[in-house]
Structure 1
Amino acid sequence: MHNGRLFTLVGGIFGLIGLVLLGVTIALAVSTASFLASAQRTDGTVVELTARTSTTRTQDGYTRRSTTWFPTVEFTVDGRQYSFHSSTGSNPPAYTKGEAVPVAYDPDNPSDARIASFWSAFLAPLITGGLGLVFTPVGTILFLRGRRLAQR
């Protein structure tokens, strides 16, 4: 395959992936901002930290294990207790058992709740946005370079 065509193909794929990631970023950010705008706030307590361990194999054949800690939070609305497992985990744990955390919940469905911190709310859009901001210009540069090489 001619170098120009290869650059054009790879650049097009990278650019398309970047644009999709930026679209996902916008959707996630709008959804999160909409939820937070309509959510009620209260305080919750971290009642448990759940460990999830993943195993990967390095290039030199060693096994690497990493553990991520996900908090379980309880809170009370109108005398009724609710709990949820956060979808955002970290290592080391971002919270300790017994720690008070801000909670945002849907007033029509208090079981739909999240930790109301910037990182918990916007980590996913930040990751997809960062990747989109890398893939899109790299793809565009490769695509344009491939087009120039193909024209020669």
Structure 2
Amino acid sequence: MHNGRLLTLVGGIFGLVGLVLLCVTVALAASAASFLASAQQTDGTVVELTEETSTTRNRDGFYRHTTVWYSTVEFTVDGRQYSFRSSHGSSPPAYAKGESIPVAYDPDNPYDARIASFWSAFIGPMITGGLGVLFTPIGTILFLKGRRSTGRRT
């Protein structure tokens, strides 16, 4: 396979992955924004921090332990208590046990609740968007270089 064709192929794959990531970003951001726009807000309390440790082995044979903390939050709506576990963990813990934090919940289904912070709502779109913004131009540049290189050889 010629160098130009390889660059075209790799560039096309990178560009396509970047565009897919950007589409996923739009969908995730729209979903989070839609939920927050229709959600009610209240204060909740962090009642528990759950520690999850994962172990991976690197190329040198050494084991690496990674610990992530997830918050369990309780809140009250119309005299009834609800709780949920945050979907995003952090290290160190983002909140302390007993800390009061804002909660957004679906008024028709309070079991559907999330921490009402920009970071919690938009971390997914920020990650996929960042990768999409990185992959798309790199893919485009590689694709165009490959096409130019292939065009000179024929």
**Bucket of the pairwise TM-score, normalised by the shorter protein:** over 0.9
In structure 2, what is the Cα distance between the partners aligned to 1:114 and 1:89? 13
Deviation by residue 1:88-121 (Cα, 9 ceiling, x = unmatched)? 1100000011110000000000000000011111
Tell me the amino acid that sits aligned with residue 145 of structure 1.
K
Tell me the amino acid that sits aligned with residue 100 of structure 1.
S
Count the aligned residue pairs.
Answer: 152
SS of equivalent residue, structure 1 residue 67:
strand
Deviation by residue 1:40-69 (Cα, 9 ceiling, x = unmatched)? 000000011111111111222211010000
SS of equivalent residue, structure 1 residue 52:
strand
SS of equivalent residue, structure 2 residue 89:
coil
Aligned to 2:29: 29
In structure 2, what is the Cα distance between the partners aligned to 1:31 and 1:131? 19
Aligned to 1:47: 47
The answer to whether 1:12 aligns with 2:12 is yes
Aligned to 2:59: 59
State how 1:121-136 maps to structure 2 within 5 Å.
121-136=121-136
In structure 2, what is the Cα distance between the partners aligned to 1:64 and 1:74? 33
* Structure 1 residue 82, shift from structure 2 partner: 0.4
Q: What's the Cα RMSD here?
A: 0.6
What are structure 1's unaligned runs of at least 5 residues?
none
In structure 2, what is the Cα distance between the partners aligned to 1:128 and 1:19? 10
Q: Identity over the aligned pairs, expressed in percent?
A: 77
Tell me the amino acid that sits aligned with residue 94 of structure 2.
A
Deviation by residue 1:22-48 (Cα, 9 ceiling, x = unmatched)? 000000000000000010000000011
SS of equivalent residue, structure 2 residue 97:
coil
List, as ranges, runs of 4+ consecutive aligned residues in structure 1 with deviation greater than 6 Å.
none
What are structure 2's unaligned runs of at least 5 residues?
none
SS of equivalent residue, structure 1 residue 44:
strand
SS of equivalent residue, structure 1 residue 74:
strand
In structure 2, what is the Cα distance between the partners aligned to 1:131 and 1:49? 30
Tell me the amino acid that sits aligned with residue 133 of structure 1.
V
